A and B are shown apart, each in its own frame.
Chain A
Amino acid sequence: MTPTIDLELILYITALGLISIGLAGVVLSQHLFRMVLALVIAEAGANLMLVLAGYRWDAVAPILTSLGEHPQMVDPVPQAMVLTAIVIGVGIQALAVSILIRIRQRFGTLDRHEVAAHMDAEIAQIAGTSRDMSQESPLGERPLPPLPGTPAASREGRS
């Protein structure tokens, strides 16, 4: 059974590797579309992982070919789940791509930082705030101004 075990190991490594590569891709990409693609890769890994969770080497697909005694079959549940997960993934990717199209149209770029900068600017513009992270004190918390006619020094006692 030595070779089969190796094979399984390879499958697991593949699955986990896909997840790692995908996640690393998401973390490191500069381009939003690449991030979405990386996500697809990671998702594939996760799906593979799921299928592996119910897989047996010495078994057949879970379809009855004859009535009566049936041979050992792989677990049908993960297969059903993967089916579901894949479709979900497709739906989300399609949505992501359509959003990307719009972003590209609005901002003219899909670079992550540039998009973020555009977004911040737009949010600030809509809200009517200044966008920069300036160092000035927030509202209402500035030190008390001296009363009119009072020398500033007199208020700052050794308190």
Chain B
Amino acid sequence: MRNLTGLLFAGGLGFMLLSIASGLDFGAPPMLVGEAIQSVAPQETGATNIVTSVVLGYRGIDTLGELSILFAAAAAAGLVLGRRHTTAGTLTEGGFVLRYGGAMLFPLLMTIGFYIIFHGHLTPGGGFQGGVILAAAFFLPLLARPGARLHHGMLSMIEGFAGSSFILIGLVALAEGEAFLQPMLIQDTLGQLVSAGTLPLLYLAVGLKVGAELAGLLSHLAQTESEA
């Protein structure tokens, strides 16, 4: 009976949504804003990756909000899970491959992560993606050696300073008389590594922050096994 109800509910919901969506224009979105951004973004932000220019420029404050959400989630998880971490012996030591693979991968992941971050304005990728890879880099050893710990003080330093530097960059623009988060120092070197003014800096901040938050969250989850 229960399943039937569920089936009916899901089916009805889907059908309803579908009937609504059938009113949509397939494949030809209006793209009012999108077109406009495409045409001016390279000049205004100096980034060839238009998504980046949207993420950091046009919708920069969204990104700030998003960082804050991550921060809030990490802080909340910290509140929930508490400070005391007892690494219980439930996790078994990783095997040879894991241990040494992790160690070997660490520099690689770091490199890739930072590469992706720094080239965020040129190629697909950016702070989020790079940040996640960074987090993975730090987290891998944790899986391999359960006894290992992330340095929480360090993490919170990184997340704090990364986040605040994002804001600071925005505030500098404000202090210069421009708008908050206005891209600055745009050189006329579209397509080069050093081309998009403050955007890469912002992405660095994003990347560090995301990396730190995720690493922190994961380690919180991993390390909390029993209540103190």
Residues of A participating in the B interface, judged by any CB pair closer than 8 Å? 4-5, 8-9, 12-13, 16-17, 19-21, 23-24, 27-28, 53-57, 61-65, 67, 70, 73-77, 79-81, 83-84, 87-88, 90-92, 94-95, 97-99, 101-102, 105-106
Contacts and interface: CB of A to CB of B under 8 A. Distances in A.
Given A63-B51, A63-B124, A80-B62, A98 B14 contact: no
B156 to A, nearest CB: 16
A23 B191 CA distance: 44
Contact of A94 (B24, B55, B221): B221
Given A63-B51, A83-B55, A24 B13 contact: yes
A115 B41 CA distance: 51
Given A20-B10, A20-B17, A56 B29 contact: yes
Chain B interface category by residue count: 35 or more
Contacts of A105: 226-227
A contacts with B: majority SS: helix
Q: Which of B10, B49, B210 has the most CB of A within 10 A?
A: B10
Given A62-B49, A62-B51, A87-B66, A24 B10 contact: yes
A94 B54 contact: no
A90 B210 CA distance: 11
Given A12-B18, A92-B69, 6 more contacts: A12-B24, A27-B9, A28-B6, A55-B29, A84-B55, A105-B226
Nearest to A45: B17
Contacts of A102: 80-81, 227
Contact of A28 (B2, B63, B74): B2
17 contacts: A5-B27, A16-B17, A23-B10, A28-B9, A56-B31, A64-B191, A73-B38, A77-B37, A80-B54, A84-B66, A91-B73, A95-B73, A98-B76, A98-B77, A98-B221, A102-B80, A105-B227
B111 interface: no
Contact of A87 (B51, B122, B124, B128): B128
